[in-house]
Amino acid sequence: MAAREPEFAKVVVFGTGLIGGSFALGLKQAGAVEEVVGFGRTPATLRAAQQLGVIDRAGINPAHEIADADIVLVATPVAQMPEIFARIAPYLGPNTLVTDGGSTKGDVVAAARTAFKGHIGKFVPAHPIAGAENSGPSAARWDLYWGKKVVVTPLPENNDERLDRIKRAWSLCGADIYELTPEQHDRVFAAVSHLPHLLSFALVHDLAVRDDADLFFTFAASGFRDFTRIAASHPEMWRDICLANRQALLGELDSYRAQLADLHDALAAGDGARLEAVFDIARQRRRAWGGQD
Amino acid sequence: MAAREPEFAKVVVFGTGLIGGSFALGLKQAGAVEEVVGFGRTPATLRAAQQLGVIDRAGINPAHEIADADIVLVATPVAQMPEIFARIAPYLGPNTLVTDGGSTKGDVVAAARTAFKGHIGKFVPAHPIAGAENSGPSAARWDLYWGKKVVVTPLPENNDERLDRIKRAWSLCGADIYELTPEQHDRVFAAVSHLPHLLSFALVHDLAVRDDADLFFTFAASGFRDFTRIAASHPEMWRDICLANRQALLGELDSYRAQLADLHDALAAGDGARLEAVFDIARQRRRAWGGQD
């Protein structure tokens, strides 16, 4: 077999942990990238990323690294993205595309518009759905994205060639690509991810602050364990996600609170038929969705 | 080793499935019971229980089976207990003790008082914490209760000998015995079990009834899966539990709704510090409770 030219001569990742590091390793595994340059919060993290083979070298100055990059992936916490966009904006080359790994999209797009202005067409937003229990370069895996979903949320300014190129990069990492508008994306993830985290944190907190909290936790069992597993998630990260997706999350929270008010009234009235109807619809849908577990 | 006399000559179980059947098998495995007689909803269930060795024979008429029983375990859904208590009440012998496997206690105790009247001291309420995913005689296992908690909620009328005898029976099945008052029990389980089920059902229902429900379920991931696993629970059973423990559950639901109102306000105000404080307390407590999972 003749040696192939890698599709991407240079990829720059901001954030060399689970999301960014796995993107780098996935492209390397596919033989699709010649050089990966990493930027990170600390020199120690970047040294670790280099030693693990996640990046080829650490970047020092964006002014020297962005113009000739094919793809820049910003895979930091969402709250840090506006600053990074502003730092790289002056150096985007004619063929440079930017994508991100943020779990909210409306706010990321707004920050990108502010920073990239007339070059916003070079930014193709993305959200890889790939968990976040572990972090740091040692959590990066070349096969993290295999069989996972990556949601791309194209902007009107993205032409087809640019959109396809970013989709292609995520595909090379093994991901299945989906398209949503940024607004759809934020509403969907508010409902199926951000709200459940908020609700789980809320339940554990409500018990934890009681004087007799120990009594409750002594008898908590497997249902409680499953329901509250996500309450062990990272507080700072989830604070940022909730704030970043505030409008959509408030909408979902309002809808859920109305649902609880309805259940409260049914319970207070002893309306077993209403309770059973709600439980039954939920159970049927839950089983249809995830019958295997 | 000389052959031991079994501690219990005769045990009667109402309900020969997971809870009642495992109690029978646990006592048999311990060599602690001579004969187990089962009552159940259908002859087919009782035949299966007998074929599986869960019971020695099916009972026909409580009038002939209760007076010489050492222990009667009522392990049916809570909603059926009042009728069963009424059926057996006339036949309690001088040494007959009654216990139950219900997951609520206040309502069961009230029903028992109505049925047993001056003999209420013979009823020692219990709640084995042993899951409920599977049901029927084939779900019964002799080791179901090994290392599991059984909460006994003594009544003022239970003397020490009777209380010890019921605790002993559950211990022989391998359970760790805890004591709570019926009121403590119902408050604790409203908070750590009944409310989480209600909340999980509510979230799935809120999404399931939308016109674009499919869009949401397409992107639901592992956090959603854990949070909603208990929404696949049995609707009729959970309707009954919610109604049976209505007062305590309404109290817990009110407390939780106040917590959500607080988080709603913090979110609307962009108060990241407040969100992070709540998330952080929840995470610390969740990790301290179940750091292994």
Query: What CATH number is associated with residue A130?
Result: 3.40.50.720
Q: What is the pLDDT of residue A19?
A: 95
> What string of DSSP letters covers B51-71?
HTTS-SEE-S-HHHHSTT-SE
Q: What is the pLDDT of residue B193?
A: 95
Residue A106 belongs to some domain of the structure: yes
B 153-212 near A (Cβ less than 8 A)? 178, 184, 188-189, 191-193, 195-209
Question: Are B95 and B170 within one domain?
Answer: yes
From B184's Cα to the closest Cα of chain A, the distance in A is: 9
Question: Are A100 and A71 within one domain?
Answer: yes
Residue B42 belongs to some domain of the structure: yes
From A1's Cα to the closest Cα of chain B, the distance in A is: 39
Instruction: Quickly state the pLDDT bin for B290 (edges 50, 70, 90).
Output: confident
d(CA B121, CA B106): 16
Question: Are A238 and A266 within one domain?
Answer: yes
B79 touches chain A (CB under 8 A): no
Q: Is the pLDDT of residue B291 over 90?
A: no
- Does residue B25 or residue B222 have the better pLDDT? B25
Residue A73 belongs to some domain of the structure: yes
Residue A219 belongs to some domain of the structure: yes
Question: Are A145 and A272 within one domain?
Answer: no
Q: What's the pTM value of the predicted model, to 2 decimals?
A: 0.87
Compute the Cα dihedral for A152, A155, A161, A162 and give only its sign: negative
| Average pLDDT, integer, range B72-87 | 95
d(CA A186, CA B160): 60
DSSP A191: I
From A201's Cα to the closest Cα of chain B, the distance in A is: 5
Question: Are A86 and A122 within one domain?
Answer: yes
B 260-279 near A (Cβ less than 8 A)? 260-261, 263-264, 267-268, 270, 272, 275-276, 278-279
From A117's Cα to the closest Cα of chain B, the distance in A is: 26
Last residue of a domain, one of A160, A180, A200: A180
Residues in B closer than 8 angstroms to A131, CB to CB, are 221-222
d(CA A238, CA A219): 28
Residues in A closer than 8 angstroms to B235, CB to CB, are 276, 279-280, 282-283
Helix (H) or strand (E) holding A198: helix A195-208
| Average pLDDT, integer, range B160-180 | 98
What is the 3-state secondary structure of B76-124?
CCHHHHHHHHHHHHHHCCCCCEEEECCCCCHHHHHHHHHHHHHHHHHEE
- Provide the domain count of chain A: 2
Asked if A11 contacts A73 with a C-beta cutoff of 8 angstroms, the reply is yes
- Inter-chain CB proximity B199 and A203 less than 8 Å: yes
The DSSP bridge pattern shows strands B71-74 and B97-100 to be parallel
3-state secondary structure of A181: coil
Q: Is the pLDDT of residue B168 over 70?
A: yes
Asked if B74 contacts B82 with a C-beta cutoff of 8 angstroms, the reply is no
- Inter-chain CB proximity A279 and B238 less than 8 Å: yes
Residues in A closer than 8 angstroms to B257, CB to CB, are 257, 260-261, 264
Question: Are A152 and A88 within one domain?
Answer: yes
d(CA A128, CA A103): 8
| Average pLDDT, integer, range B201-224 | 96
Helix (H) or strand (E) holding A205: helix A195-208
- Does residue B102 or residue A2 have the better pLDDT? B102
Q: Read off the CATH number of the domain in which A261 is found.
A: 1.10.3660.10
A 3-22 near B (Cβ less than 8 A)? none
| Average pLDDT, integer, range A77-94 | 95
What are the tens digits of pLDDT across the range A108-128? 999 999 999 999 999 999 999
Share of chain A above pLDDT 90, in %: 91
A239 touches chain B (CB under 8 A): yes
Q: Is the pLDDT of residue A1 over 80?
A: no
Last residue of a domain, one of B180, B214, B248: B180
What are the tens digits of pLDDT across the range A144-184? 999 999 999 999 999 999 999 999 999 999 999 999 999 99
In which residue are the tokens 């093994």 written?
A174
Residue A2 belongs to some domain of the structure: no
Q: What is the pLDDT of residue B56?
A: 98
Helix (H) or strand (E) holding B286: helix B272-290
Q: Is the pLDDT of residue A291 over 60?
A: no
- Inter-chain CB proximity A282 and B149 less than 8 Å: no
From A145's Cα to the closest Cα of chain B, the distance in A is: 14
Q: Which of A3-17, A57-71, B195-209 is the least confident region? A: A3-17
In 3D space, the residue among A139, A141, A132, A149 whose CA is nearest the CA of residue A240 turns out to be A132
A91 touches chain B (CB under 8 A): no
Question: Are A20 and A155 within one domain?
Answer: yes
Compute the Cα dihedral for B279, B281, B284, B286 and give only its sign: negative
Question: Are A159 and A198 within one domain?
Answer: no
Last residue of a domain, one of A180, A215, A235: A180
Q: What range defines the domain where residue B199 resides?
A: 185-290
Residue B3 belongs to some domain of the structure: no
| CA atoms within 13 Å, Cβ hemisphere of B282 | 29
Question: Are A152 and A215 within one domain?
Answer: no
Residue B214 belongs to some domain of the structure: yes
DSSP A135: -
Question: Are A27 and A151 within one domain?
Answer: yes
d(CA A83, CA A79): 9
Q: Is the pLDDT of residue B1 over 60?
A: no
Residue A69 belongs to some domain of the structure: yes
Question: Are A160 and A209 within one domain?
Answer: no
Q: Is the pLDDT of residue A205 over 60?
A: yes
Question: Are B148 and B18 within one domain?
Answer: yes
The token pair at A113 is 């518009």
Distance of CA B157 to the CA centre of its chain: 22
3-state secondary structure of A209: coil
In which residue are the tokens 């013979």 written?
B122
* Residue partners of A277: CB distance under 8 A and separation at least 6: none
What are the tens digits of pLDDT across the range B177-192? 999 999 999 999 999 9
B213 touches chain A (CB under 8 A): yes
